[in-house]
């Protein structure tokens, strides 16, 4: 049941992330218009030329889209006039009279359709280019920001949920800017032009259309609003499910070993059921939305035709009020012509279609804003605070005089500018680490380290021993400044580490973890990860130092062998040796070895241990180990219990004391 509890804890952590829509949490249930404005502003900022061309094309297409309805009125008038001529002068006379006008009108319409086709094609091309470029930049913005987020973000957010930011959430933006926004703009422009033309032809019939549009907006507010709410909840549930699935995939061996398959299925069913319910409700509202709007449009079409017929039959007793009458009849009110009704019915259909088109985009807008809320919660997150000003530089040291130099010399120094007098001093990087009365808490009010004091002189090996949760790894995380202390001081070569830039501080520290992380690429690329400017010869030298050279040259392509899936084609011991080689090529004065041999067999451990022994020579080393045999040659051993150092000394001293370490070493009780 331990695995199930871990999942529950993961979910709780995600819920605790601060802020509405903060990292690891869902955006608010209501649509925030500011998010839409922000997306549009960024889109315009990134691709102003492409978007300007696209908007011009949309305007042209919207105007041309209305013209057929206008021309129907003109062509209908011509045909009616031709019928009148045919009654008095014959069909031939009628044809010869009206045919040129009909052909001329149809030719103009055909030309307009060609222009509309070109505009539409150009608009889609511009939008496509701008959309893909914008998504590329958004992914880069998000990835760049994630590189500067504190470690606690990644500790409290599942990997699957993080991946959902780059896939599902980004994809919702694609739908918004490639389809949603252009469709809404096109619909609004079309509606604007239609309103002007319809008012020109008949204010009376326009009143009927307005009543229908009000009904459509009422439906949009109710059905579309509920649909948007559940689409936003769906987006949250997708991230949660992907995080759960990713965790289950990574833990497959554990699940099978403890026969946890059925319980895992139950947990997955709960998460999947939550997603299903949100998707079902979202699509239920979304699927009924279109038919309802279409039927309102059809009813409006019939009502408009009926009212128009009544106005025609009344023959002016019920006058048609329009702007056109001022130009044709010299009065605001006049009888309604059949041609106007014919044209008006086409425009009514187009009007309701445009309202429907804009309304249909509510779902994509809602999903996009849900995704945008999550994306911007990352982009707006507070970056890792770094107020350090002491930097690490390459140095030459001759007769005790430190000189900064641009090339790599294998010697380093801290460059310390003094704002008081404008001077700069240099301190040799030696690896002298001191913790002075350090307190620390992950959450306010829950202290995990209490008054921890220790020192490690250059070249010394300091080991941390204690039960899980005693604070061993926490201490090394504080030295790296993955977290900042609550009280006390940590000094590195006499400098408060808060004054050292974090990147420079971490560059001076090498770390080998229990869980190795290898990246897609060649073996030598993974070794070079420790120092990107290292030559092939330096990488091979580091591999030999780590005892990795022998197995590497036996690989299919030696150092050029491609690794994928975290080095899945290598054994755990081989991956660990590459991790040690990676630390060796960085050549740091301080090394942190966190349970580096706890997950490998005894025989492989001996090989890895020899590699680590070679790596540790001349360096300050902090070792965390459960196997006490690996720490007995340490200069100092710190025994921790619940965040306090309860014993300290070398192996012989602690054995002589007969305390906790003695009992652990002799097996009187276990670390756990």
For the chain, the average pLDDT equals: 80
Query: pLDDT tens digit string along 294-326?
Result: 788 888 888 888 888 888 888 767 777 777 666
Query: pLDDT tens digit string along 614-645?
Result: 767 778 889 887 667 778 888 899 999 889 99
- pLDDT > 90? residue 30: no
**Looking at residue 497, what is its pLDDT?**
93
Is residue 18 very low, low, confident or very high in pLDDT (cuts 50, 70, 90)?
Answer: very low
- pLDDT > 90? residue 166: no
Q: What is the pTM of this model?
A: 0.68
- pLDDT > 90? residue 22: no
In degrees, rounded to 5, the angle at the alpha carbon of residue 616 between the alpha carbons of residues 614 and 621 is 165
What is the Cα–Cα distance from 480 to 509, expressed in whole angstroms?
A: 8
**Looking at residue 331, what is its pLDDT?**
61
Across 235-259, average pLDDT: 72
Q: Which fold has domain 433-666?
A: Rossmann fold (3.40.50)
Q: Which fold has domain 22-33+133-379?
A: ABC transporter transmembrane region fold (1.20.1560)
Across 15-28, average pLDDT: 39
**Looking at residue 597, what is its pLDDT?**
63
* Sequence-ordered alpha helix ranges (H) in 323-416: 324-328, 338-360, 362-379
Q: To the nearest 10°, report the CA torsion of 564, 565, 567, 571.
A: -140
**Looking at residue 258, what is its pLDDT?**
63
Across 198-204, average pLDDT: 81
**Looking at residue 235, what is its pLDDT?**
67
In the sheet that holds 620-624, the strands lie side by side as 509-513, 590-594, 620-624, 461-466, 636-641, 644-649
**Looking at residue 43, what is its pLDDT?**
92
Across 264-286, average pLDDT: 80
Residue 337 CB neighbour total at 10 angstroms: 20
- pLDDT > 50? residue 1: no
**Looking at residue 553, what is its pLDDT?**
92
Across 94-121, average pLDDT: 83
What is the Cα–Cα distance from 511 to 504, expressed in whole angstroms?
A: 14
What is the Cα–Cα distance from 567 to 529, expressed in whole angstroms?
A: 14
Give the domain ranges of the chain: 22-33+133-379, 391-428, 433-666
Q: Closest Cα partner for 584 from 520, 541, 555?
A: 541
Based on C-alpha coordinates, what's the Rg of the chain? Answer: 37
Query: pLDDT tens digit string along 511-566?
Result: 887 777 888 889 999 999 888 888 999 999 888 888 889 889 999 999 999 988 77
Higher local confidence (pLDDT), 20 or 658: 658
- pLDDT > 90? residue 493: yes
What is the Cα–Cα distance from 287 to 284, expressed in whole angstroms?
A: 5
Higher local confidence (pLDDT), 586 or 489: 489
Across 8-13, average pLDDT: 34
DSSP codes of every residue in 280-306: HHHHHHHHHHHHHHHHHHHHHHHHHHH
With contact defined as beta carbons under 8 Å apart, do 4 and 267 qualify? yes
What is the Cα–Cα distance from 458 to 429, expressed in whole angstroms?
A: 10
Q: 403: part of which helix (H) or strand (E)? A: strand 401-404
List, in order, residues 6 or more apart from 100 with CB less than 8 Å away.
none
In degrees, rounded to 5, the angle at the alpha carbon of residue 68 between the alpha carbons of residues 63 and 72 is 140
């Amino acid at each position: 049941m331990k695995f199930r509890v871990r999942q529950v804890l993961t979910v709780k952590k995600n819920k605790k992330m601060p802020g509405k829509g903060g990292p690891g949490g869902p955006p608010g249930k209501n649509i925030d218009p500011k998010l839409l404005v922000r997306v549009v502003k960024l889109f315009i900022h990134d691709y102003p030329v492409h978007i300007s061309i696209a908007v011009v094309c949309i305007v042209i297409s919207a105007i041309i889209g209305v013209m057929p309805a206008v021309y129907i009125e003109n062509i209908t008038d011509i045909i009616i006039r031709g019928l009148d001529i045919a009654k008095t002068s014959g069909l031939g006379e009628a044809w010869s009279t009206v045919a040129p006008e009909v052909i001329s009108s149809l030719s103009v319409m055909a030309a307009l359709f060609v222009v509309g086709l070109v505009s539409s094609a150009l608009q889609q091309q511009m939008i496509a280019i701008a959309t893909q470029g914008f998504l590329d930049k958004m992914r880069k913005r998000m990835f760049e920001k994630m590189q500067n987020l504190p470690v606690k973000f990644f500790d409290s957010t599942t990997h699957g949920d993080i991946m959902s930011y780059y896939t599902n959430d980004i994809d919702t933006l694609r739908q918004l800017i490639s389809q949603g926004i252009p469709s809404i703009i096109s619909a609004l422009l079309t509606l604007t032009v239609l309103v002007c033309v319809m008012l020109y032809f008949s204010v009376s019939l326009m009143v009927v259309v307005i009543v229908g549009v009000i009904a459509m907006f009422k439906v949009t507010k109710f059905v579309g609003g509920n649909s948007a709410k559940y689409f936003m909840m769906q987006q949250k549930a997708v991230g949660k499910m992907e995080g759960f699935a990713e965790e289950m995939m990574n833990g497959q061996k554990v699940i099978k070993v403890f026969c946890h398959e059925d319980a895992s299925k139950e947990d997955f069913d709960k998460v999947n059921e939550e997603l299903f319910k949100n998707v079902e409700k979202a699509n239920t509202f979304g699927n009924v939305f279109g038919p309802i709007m279409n039927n309102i449009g059809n009813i409006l079409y019939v009502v408009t035709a009926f009212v128009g017929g009544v106005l025609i039959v009344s023959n002016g007793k019920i006058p048609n009020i329009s702007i056109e009458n001022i130009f044709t009849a010299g009065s605001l009110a006049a009888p309604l012509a059949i041609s106007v009704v014919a044209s008006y019915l086409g425009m009514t259909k187009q009007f309701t279609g445009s309202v429907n088109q804009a309304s249909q985009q509510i779902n994509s807008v809602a999903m996009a804003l849900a995704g945008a809320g999550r994306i911007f919660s990352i982009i707006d997150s507070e970056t890792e605070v770094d107020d350090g000003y002491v930097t690490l530089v390459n140095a030459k040291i001759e007769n005790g005089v430190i000189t900064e130099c641009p090339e790599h010399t294998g010697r380093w120094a801290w460059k310390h500018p003094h704002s008081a007098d404008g001077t700069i001093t240099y301190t040799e990087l030696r690896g002298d680490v001191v913790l002075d009365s350090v307190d620390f808490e992950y959450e306010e009010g829950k202290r995990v380290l209490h008054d921890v004091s220790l020192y490690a002189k250059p070249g010394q090996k300091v080991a941390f021993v204690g039960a899980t949760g005693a604070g061993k790894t926490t201490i090394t995380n504080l030295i790296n400044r993955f977290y900042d202390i609550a009280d006390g001081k940590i000094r590195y070569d006499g400098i408060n580490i808060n004054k050292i830039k974090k990147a420079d501080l971490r560059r001076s520290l090498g770390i080998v973890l229990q869980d190795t992380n290898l990246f897609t690429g060649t073996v030598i690329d993974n070794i070079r990860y420790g120092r990107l400017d290292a030559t092939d010869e330096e990488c091979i030298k580091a591999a030999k130092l780590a005892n990795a050279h022998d197995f590497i040259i036996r690989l299919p392509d030696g150092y050029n062998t491609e690794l994928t899936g975290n080095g899945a084609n290598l054994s755990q011991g081989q991956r660990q040796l590459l991790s040690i080689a990676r630390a060796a090529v960085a050549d740091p004065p301080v090394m942190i070895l966190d349970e580096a041999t706890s997950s490998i067999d005894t025989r492989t451990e001996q090989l890895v241990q020899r590699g680590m022994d070679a790596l540790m020579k001349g360096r300050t080393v902090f070792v965390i180990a459960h196997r006490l045999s690996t720490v007995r040659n340490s200069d100092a051993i710190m025994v921790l219990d619940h965040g306090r150092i309860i014993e300290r000394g070398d192996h012989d001293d602690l054995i002589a004391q007969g305390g906790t370490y003695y009992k652990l070493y002799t097996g009187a009780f276990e670390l756990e």
